Each structure stands twice: as C-alpha cells, then as structure tokens.
Amino acid sequence: MSATAFNQTLRRSLAAALDGDKDAAAIADRVRAGLSYFRSLDPTMQEIVKECYGKATRASMLVSVGLVVWSAVFAWFIQEQPLEDRNVVNGEGEE
C-alpha cells in the first residue's frame, strides 16, 4: 500500500509540476530505475524531481504510520481467551 501511495503521488506531483507534460510518467520511471538519469537532468528539473520525491515519501510514510496506528488500536481491544481443557477438545471428555 505504501508503494502504491508513493508511485501515485510521485506521478501526480511530477505531472502537476511539469504542467501536465506527457514526459512526467517517463521521467518518474527513469529516475526510479537509477540515479544516473537523475544526474543527467538539468538543475531546475533535478529540484522539481527532488520536491516530488519528498511529497511521495511523505505520502508513503503517512500510509505506513496510519497502518501502524490502526493496528495498535485494534490490538488494544484483542482479549485473551483461555484454552479449554485439551481432553474435552480431543473428544475424550469427562465421564
């Protein structure tokens, strides 16, 4: 889920920062593939990509923190139930 949030946010923020340029998805894919493409970008484009990566990372972290918080909340309400006598469960009940 975090990876999905990261990828969607990265693509959307790059598309918005590049004013809907069709190359936004290609830039996102190529930059994720390796840093050599990132280093080949001009400095202005590098700053845009850095900002978009920051937004995507924050979105991913929000999803992760949300999952952890909800897990902790639900775990708080789990009640331990004692196991019954094993003989009764195995069909050897008391006679």
Reading the block at residue 27, the tokens are 């830039």
In the structure, what pLDDT confidence band is assigned to residue 31 with cuts at 50, 70 and 90? confident
Residue 42 zone, left/alpha/beta (φ > 0; ψ -120 to 50; rest):
beta
> Count of CB atoms within 10 A of residue 69's CB?
10
Of the candidate ranges 39-43, 45-49, 74-78, 79-83, the one whose mean pLDDT is the lowest = 79-83
In a domain, 88, yes or no: no
In a domain, 25, yes or no: yes
Query: Which residue range(s) make up the domain with 27?
Result: 2-76
Q: How many domains does the chain have?
A: 1
Reading the block at residue 12, the tokens are 């959307």
CA–CA gap between residue 20 and residue 18 (Å, rounded): 6
pLDDT of 67: 94
In a domain, 87, yes or no: no
Q: What is the mean pLDDT of residues 39-58?
A: 91
In a domain, 85, yes or no: no
